[in-house]
Amino acid sequence: MTVQDLAHLLVEARASRVVLPTCESCGRALRLPHKTSGGGRRCSRCERNARSIACANCGQVKPVQRNIEGQRFCRTCWRADPRSFADCSRCGRYATAVVRRSETVCLDCYRAPIKICGLCGNRGRITSHLDGRRVCARCYYAMRSPKPCPECNRKVLLTGYMNEKNVCAECAGTPITMACPGCGSISEVRKHHLCVECRRPIIIQHLLADEAGEIRDELAPLAHYLLTYHDKALSLERWLRKSGSAAPLLREIVTGRLPLEADAINSRAQSPQGAVFILSLLVRSGVLPEMNVPSMRFEQWLKSWLDGIGEPGDRLVLRQYCAWELLGANKTSISSRAQYQKVRMALKHCERLLREIRLQEASLMTYPKRMLDVFLTGSPVQRDALAPFTRWLRRHGLSSLRVEFRPSVLEGREYAANHRVQMARQFIADTDMHSVTRVAGLLILYYGFPLTRITSITQSQINADSRPVTLTVGTDPIDLPEPLGEAIVRQLGLARSRSGTWLFPGRIPGRPLTAGPLGIRLRKEGLMAVSARATALIKLTRQLHPRVVSDLLGITPARAAAWSRLAGGEWSDYPVIRSAPTRPQA
């Protein structure tokens, strides 16, 4: 037993005259296992910070993991350096060596020593040390993330041990050794690190500061945007560490090696996704002027794709079709990822048809109808892409080919009404469900909104001050039921911390969440969006006139009438003038 152990035992026994020594750096009264050059002592956290220097490989200030030939490396760079590899004496593999004393042992073969844990008092393999106390694997993994304390029910780091279970330090009567150095919070997910609120400004400073440690004036709006709308420092730090193209591209802009211009960023980016993310981030924060980033991405793809088509005639036809029809004066520009994917897929189907015509040694005017029918049997999706293309060819006298759209059929998808009620009860009762999933699921189950309509809902469409809460999708506002109203107000508060426009902000700054990821979220909860939507619309059109459904849900009167006919409704005696909007029933 050391003198420190004796002092702590006396204090635990309520000895009034015993004063615990304090850390030379932070002044906390806890176990001090490390000596300083001046004769004092430091706690483990301050010793770790004091050992943090610039890594010889990556240059980041981190704790030293290993010295190799006089150079100091952080943990990540040490594991990647070829000089840290050797032949393991136990398994014989050439792997990272962690022990080189009596024998060379690789990382997989190494086993921590079995000793008495300083928290629970049991013998086990020592995984870490906490302020001079050995911590076994069981206690270490129990304290890695915040959990509800069994005694006080607070969700904090459980660094104490009492009554054969892990509890928080306050309930155990032990010093709070894992508090955030910045604000004192004990809800951090990693020990000895700053909490999210305190770490975010530091991460942004490392991301946007130049070699002199200053953030340029033109990048100041970006720093403000990340502080205001990026509420998760962990995801920001993960993106900074693991991004293969976007983060290095931003660092080139910060250091001045890359001009702060859209064309330069597009040409330097290794992937289109990285360019779109960086440009959207800079536009949304106000660093660059407003521009249509998806349209710019499409134009870049179109140029490279057309250059790859070897036949000049096909290239000319596709360029004219895209410029005059898809992106003509009467068409909207590419404004979303879904629209970009749709136009790109349509052009590829058109190029396949032109290539097939050349392979058959025919032309647009001589290609026979029977061969076109054979070509269309491969995929039904081709019809929707080729129907407007052949119509454009006929209108300009280039061909007589005709492809019709697939017939649109409304189906109930055999989604039982009682199952819809059960799913609605599940989404209402589960208040711990992610608010994005819960709100989207209830909107489908109540009103049959499609996923694309849900993701495009803006914050201005919601009136959170009225009672009940209202949502305006069509011409008339919808009075939301109380469970859905409370869920949508909660999601509105979370969305405002990330975006000032969308109810469901996406990963790309300034853009909403797309329908694909939202559908995956709902399927994980057991909700099939298409079938549930069909059942909800059939239920609504049985209760309400199609005109009411059209005004409330924002669908066309013809579509609402089609759903009414599918539901078997008869509204021939419905009055033309309605006195007041009707609230639909779930």
Tell me, what's the pLDDT at 289?
A: 86
Question: What pLDDT does 586 receive?
Answer: 46
- The whole-number pLDDT of residue 64 equals 67
Which pLDDT value is given to residue 65? 63
Residue 330 is predicted with a pLDDT of: 42
Distance CA 180, CA 231 (A): 18
Report pLDDT for 412: 45
Q: Which segments of the chain have a pLDDT < 50?
A: 191-192, 329-331, 412-414, 573-580, 582, 584-586
Query: What confidence score (pLDDT) does residue 573 get?
Result: 45
Q: Strand 104-106 relative to strand 165-167: parallel, antiparallel, unpaired?
A: unpaired
> 97 in helix, strand or coil?
strand
Q: What pLDDT sits at residue 191?
A: 45
Residue in 146, 185, 184, 175 with CA at minimum distance from that of residue 30:
175
The residues pairing with 478 across neighbouring beta strands, listed in sequence order, are 471
All residues at 6 or more sequence positions from 531 whose CB lies less than 8 Å from its CB, including other chains: 412, 413, 414, 415
Q: What is residue 414's predicted lDDT score, i.e. its pLDDT?
A: 47
Instruction: Give the E-state strand segments of 193-242 in sequence order.
Output: none
Q: Burial of 101 by CB count in 10 Å (0-12 exposed, 13-18 middle, 19+ buried)?
A: exposed
Question: How confident is the model at residue 506, as a pLDDT?
Answer: 82
- The C-alpha atoms of residue 556 and residue 372 are separated, in whole angstroms, by 34
CA 454, 459, 464: angle at the middle one, nearest 5?
Answer: 105
pLDDT for residue 192: 47
Is there a contact between 57 and 81 (Cβ–Cβ < 8 Å)?
yes
- Is residue 275 within 8 Å of 266, Cβ to Cβ? yes
* Radius of gyration (C-alpha) of the chain in whole angstroms: 32
Please state the domain extents for the chain: 1-43, 114-172, 196-291, 296-395, 417-536
Using alpha carbons, list the distances in angstroms from residue 342 to 151, 204, 345, 353: 56, 36, 5, 17
Question: What pLDDT is recorded for position 574?
Answer: 46
The conformation of residue 39, written as its DSSP 8-state character, comes to S
Cα gap 6→416, rounded to integer Å: 70
Q: Which of 365, 516, 533 is nearest to 452 (CA)?
A: 516
DSSP 219: G
How far is Cα 136 from Cα 448, in angstroms, rounded to an integer?
A: 53
Residue with tokens 């660092």: 251
Q: Closest by alpha carbon to 544, among 519, 569, 524?
A: 569
Render pLDDT for 369-414 as a digit per residue (tens, 0 to 9).
888 888 887 677 788 888 889 999 998 888 888 888 876 555 544 4
| 3-state SS, residue 44 | helix
Residue 586 to residue 479: CA distance in whole angstroms: 12
Beta bridge partners of residue 87, listed in sequence order: 94
* 158 within 8 A of 168, measured Cβ to Cβ: yes
Instruction: Tell me what pLDDT residue 280 has.
Output: 83
What does the pLDDT read at residue 333? 58
Residue 443 backbone phi and psi in degrees, to 5: -65, -35
DSSP H or E run through 552: helix 546-553
Write out the E strands in 142-231. Answer: 147-148, 155-156, 160-162, 165-167
pTM listed for this prediction: 0.56
What string of DSSP letters covers 357-370? HHHTT--TTT--HH
Neighbouring residues of 65: CB distance < 8 A, sequence distance ≥ 6: 73, 74, 75, 78
Cα 148 to Cα 120, 152, 177, 182, distances in angstroms? 18, 8, 18, 23
Q: How far is CA 362 from CA 40, 150, 241, 255, in A?
A: 90, 78, 54, 56
Q: Burial letters for 109-124: b for 16+ Cβ neighbours within 10 Å, e otherwise? A: beeeeeeebbbbeeeb
Nearest CA to 347 among 325, 380, 378, 368?
A: 325
At residue 104, what are phi and psi to the nearest 5 degrees?
A: -95, 120
Would you call 105 helix, strand, or coil by DSSP? strand
